[in-house]
Amino acid sequence: VRDAANHMLGMQLVTHQTGPAGKEVKRVYVEEGCAIARELYFGMLIDRATSRIVMMASTEGGMDIEEVAAKTPEKILKVFIDPAVGMMPFHARQLAFGLGLEGKQVGNAVKLMMGVYKAFGALDASLVEINPLVVTGDGDVLALDAKMNFDDNALYRQKKVSELRDEDEEDPAELEAAKHDLNYIKLDGNIGCMVNGAGLAMATMDIIKLYGGDPANFLDVGGGATKERVTEAFKIILSDANVEGILVNIFGGIMRCDVIAEGVVAAAREVSLNVPLVVRLEGTNVELGKKILADSGLPIVTAEDLGDAADKIVQAVKEAA
């Protein structure tokens, strides 16, 4: 066991969940051996299309369920649960029979599935995945492996779940962004984005793609951004070595455009900005904001609308390449 664990520690684990880069193995969980007769899959998640919790099961356990879904979707069983009614034993029996379980296996599976449903709600989970769910030679039904995702917005009331957080498994830039109340997600492109509002941020990424560019990130500075927060946003964007240009797209409602402009100028000076920067401002104090940018003496390009901004940053990045 020790030799096997030493071999696994430090290796790069590549799965559908990790992506091609993989993740370094830092811990090994050692479990008691089990006499497996069958390997199954069981999962529970929120289906946004139907506003229901959906239970999924498959006889193809012990392998990547994403591959099963892509190649043989008919092998995945689904049962939808109305949240107004909740999960009933017949929901679990429906899946158990669909998996070909018999005798006491059915009762054991129903008990396990009902327990998963209870934990799903009590822990504010968004996903529970058991792969493999196994049937032993004695007819027991056991969860040999489990993965759970939790609703970040509910962590304030899930203290025990929060204590399990392992920051080593998270992106350092995303962790740094969270410290400054910035919502940041790294992508694979080369045009950094700084926007206020999640909807506007997604629209900005879409229009960058439309004009032939690739967004490097999703970054929402929120409705109450300060000069300091804008500066931190620039630092986080530029921590990505792939960034070759930055588009700032701000609609000043709660947030004033002059404050954003001051933050952009201060940030550009502090980080010694050396990539093209295009800024599009609209809303409260927009003219004052544009004047601050124009008087800064920095090579900041302003845009009149979102299409103009996307076109200018895409062209600027191409010319600088």
Which residues have a catalytic role annotated? 41, 129
Amino acid at 36: I
| DSSP codes of every residue in 242-270 | T--EEEEEEEESSS-HHHHHHHHHHHHHH
What letter does residue 154 receive in the DSSP assignment? G
Measured between alpha carbons, how far is 275 from 264 in angstroms, rounded to an integer? 14
Comparing CA positions, the residue from 171, 173, 172, 207 lying closest to residue 191 is 207
Ramachandran area for residue 31 (φ above 0: left; ψ -120 to 50: alpha; else beta): beta
Measured between alpha carbons, how far is 261 from 286 in angstroms, rounded to an integer? 9
Measured between alpha carbons, how far is 185 from 41 in angstroms, rounded to an integer? 30
Beta strands per DSSP E along the chain:
12-13, 23-24, 36-47, 52-58, 76-81, 125-136, 141-143, 146-150, 183-186, 191-195, 217-220, 245-252, 277-283, 300-303
Measured between alpha carbons, how far is 1 from 30 in angstroms, rounded to an integer? 8
- Are the C-beta atoms of 263 and 229 separated by less than 8 Å? yes
- How buried is 122 (Cβ within 10 angstroms: 0-12 exposed, 13-18 middle, 19+ buried)? exposed
Which helix (H) or strand (E) segment is 84 a member of? none
Measured CA distances, 155 to 132, 160, 208 (Å) = 27, 9, 34
